[in-house]
Chains A and B, each alone.
Chain A
């Protein structure tokens, strides 16, 4: 299985809502990532988990809260978002060999719209 799955595919939420995005992989990868992608732009890294521990937070606002319950799952909890947070949210995973992070496999993304 070389797939990263993400749910939901689409999400519309108000600025006061709380919602969560979910990501799952069964490739035995020990690094998992959240990216944000705006239209016609490259993905922007948000968070990295390595061996289920948060290793990178790219100065993301606290209204985004990541969680890695186990080595296969990655969540992104959303609360009090702003309309400018509307974007495609991508999850990715990769092998880790020592300090070298190999190619990342991306999920299809969750298209988020904040009203």
Chain B
């Protein structure tokens, strides 16, 4: 069965630290990849997406992610985090073949940024 793994369930950083959140998926075919963010008390928002082309994608609020097909990975990065980045981050994948393609979420990573 298809699955998405997020390696870090809880990350605590100080402001200005660099961030990398890991995401790996299990599916042998073509996928569309997403990172969603859920700020406290707010709804899920799309941070960035990858469908095809340049594997390094830039999203909102200074986030970027790199798709490495050989590693089935789509890690999220930000060079310098801010207190306002405190949120839950979800990696998600849609297989692009074989009938209806369900959006498969990882378990999420809770990021806390301290001033």
Contact = CB atoms under 8 A, between A and B. Distances in A.
A104 B103 contact: yes
A43 B105 contact: yes
A41 B44 contact: no
B19 interface: no
B99 A99 contact: yes
A109 B43 contact: yes
Contacts, number: 50
A102 interface: yes
Contact of A101 (B49, B100, B106): B100
Interface string A81-101: 000000000101000000111
A113 B42 CA distance: 18
A100 B34 contact: no
Nearest to A105: B46
Nearest to A50: B100
Given A41-B108, A101-B94, A103-B49, A108 B103 contact: no
Contacts of A108: 42-43
B58 interface: no
A8 B38 CA distance: 20
A106 B100 contact: no
A103 B36 CA distance: 10
B102 interface: yes
What are the 7 A-B residue pairs with the smallest beta carbon separation, nearest first? A42-B105, A106-B44, A108-B43, A106-B43, A103-B49, A101-B101, A42-B108
23 contacts: A41-B108, A42-B106, A43-B105, A45-B102, A48-B100, A48-B102, A56-B100, A90-B44, A92-B44, A99-B101, A100-B96, A101-B94, A101-B100, A101-B101, A102-B32, A103-B46, A104-B103, A106-B36, A106-B43, A106-B44, A106-B45, A108-B42, A108-B43
Interface of A: 40-43, 45, 48, 50, 55-56, 90, 92, 99-109
Given A41-B108, A100-B32, A105-B46, 11 more contacts: A40-B110, A41-B107, A42-B106, A43-B44, A99-B99, A100-B94, A101-B101, A103-B34, A103-B49, A106-B36, A106-B43
